[in-house]
Amino acid sequence: MTATLILHPGKERSVLRRHPWVFDTSVARLDGHARPGDTVLVADAHGKPLAKAAYSPKSKIRARVWSFEVDTPIDHAFFKRRVAQAVRRRAALPELSGQQGLRLIHAESDGLPGVIADQYGDTVVVQLTSAGAEKWRAAIVAGLVKATGCARVYERSDSEVRGLEGLEPATGWLFGEPPAGEIVIAEHGVKMAVDVFAGHKTGFYLDQRENRRLLAELSKGKRVLNCFCYTGGFSLQALAGGAASVLSIDSSQPALERAAANLALNPVLDAAKAEWRCANVFDELRKLKAAGEAFDLIVLDPPKFAPSSAHAERAARAYKDINLLGFRLLAPGGLLMSYSCSGGIGVELFQKIVAGAAADSGRTARIVKRLQGAADHPVDLAFPEGEYLKGLLVQVE
């Protein structure tokens, strides 16, 4: 018999608005017995069923909603259907047609909380971060294989958030045989190797795909500075766009070596225009300013400074500092592409931070374009937390 999670009075409002998270502070009691990952009914204080959700007793997010239709069976067929729906939605978007690197499932925004699935050619990489996703691993993988016809599925469930669910890291092949060589995809004509075993996230930052295309369009003849460059995605697109020079900075020497190797995959690009510099980005930008350097186009794509709203204040200072340094290095008429991937920093707050940095630098700046994740990273209207990546393209006088 399915257990029922009874909410405190008034705490049903977010569920009625179809928000998929039920926090521990909203729960009055659990009627019945449920293990981690089991499906439970979510009901209001009067016992009226509202949704079916995955139970997670060790997490502050006590339940994640699978379905707001309480009569829907949560079984293998449910997950295969949800996976197929997510894949079809992407196939219906022209801008995603032919992409070799593609996010197939974007967790809550695809109705599958705790499930990330990225496709690189004929390889799919899954990341399962919740107790419910863990329980239904086999059904999710079977759904991916059927919906995509992929040759293999690799699991990268090694993010720290699994610990909040009481789960151990899990990696390894779930379907098919390992590829004979490295996995290489082409993005807007530029080849990039993807390290699905040890790379960030599932191996690559697919969410920045269209922003990298925009950078290429803006780069012709410009002196470009790419900060926190990782394996060179923005840098190579700048070169492909005809940049006069590209200086790329990252604190990870292995990432820079991978970036240089990615450049070598593209002999049509002029390697003489690229410089890879291993350094602390904050320190290096101060040195560049002291040396009188200036750039026409600067990319600031730092790591996640604020994983939650609890870290927002400290993160805001870091974002302010890095953007201030960026503004000081821009040549007149220069462009700044600045991003935050921190869920704890909202769109409005991020704009205020960048505006404050511009003011402190003494520059007049204008927003040319608001930037966000690519179309395969949708945001459910009832789940604004899904909009983790936000950015601004700013031009200075």
HEC assignment per residue over the chain: CCCEEEECCCCCHHHHCCCCEEEHHHEEEEECCCCCCCEEEEECCCCCEEEEEEECCCCCEEEEEEECCCCCCCCHHHHHHHHHHHHHHHHCCHHHCCCCEEEEEEHHHHCCCCEEEEEECCEEEEEECCHHHHHCHHHHHHHHHHHHCCCEEEEEECCCHHHHCCCCCEEEEEECCCCCCCEEEEECCEEEEECCCCCCCCCCCHHHHHHHHHHHHHCCCCEEEEECCCCCHHHHHHHHCCCCEEEEEECCHHHHHHHHHHHHCCCCCCHHHEEEEECCHHHHHHHHHHCCCCEEEEEECCCCCCCCHHHHHHHHHHHHHHHHHHHHHEEEEEEEEEEECCCCCCHHHHHHHHHHHHHHHCCCEEEEEEEECCCCCCCCCCCHHHCCCEEEEEEEC
Supply the pLDDT for residue 47.
97
- Predicted confidence at residue 310, as pLDDT, reads 64
The CATH number that domain 195-396 falls under is 3.40.50.150
Q: Give residue 307's pLDDT.
A: 61
Active site residues: 341
Domain range summary for the chain, segments of one domain joined by +: 4-67, 76-181, 195-396
Rounded distance between C-alpha atoms, residue 384 and residue 19, angstroms: 9
Query: According to the model, what pLDDT value does residue 314 have?
Result: 80
Closest among 5, 14, 110 to 49, alpha carbons compared: 5
Radius of gyration of the chain (CA): 22
Q: Mean pLDDT per segment of 10 residues, for the chain of length 397 residues?
A: 95 98 98 97 98 97 98 98 98 96 98 98 98 98 98 96 94 96 96 95 96 98 98 98 98 97 98 98 98 98 75 85 98 98 89 97 98 97 94 98
pLDDT in tens, 120-155: 999 999 999 999 999 999 999 999 999 999 999 999
Q: Provide CB contacts within 8 A for 71, sequence distance 6+.
A: none
Q: Mention the CATH class of domain 4-67.
A: mainly beta
Q: How far is CA 109 from the centre of its chain?
A: 12
Predicted pLDDT of residue 270: 98
pTM assigned to the model: 0.94
**pLDDT at position 342:** 87
| 76-181 CATH fold | Transcription Regulator spoIIAA (3.30.750)
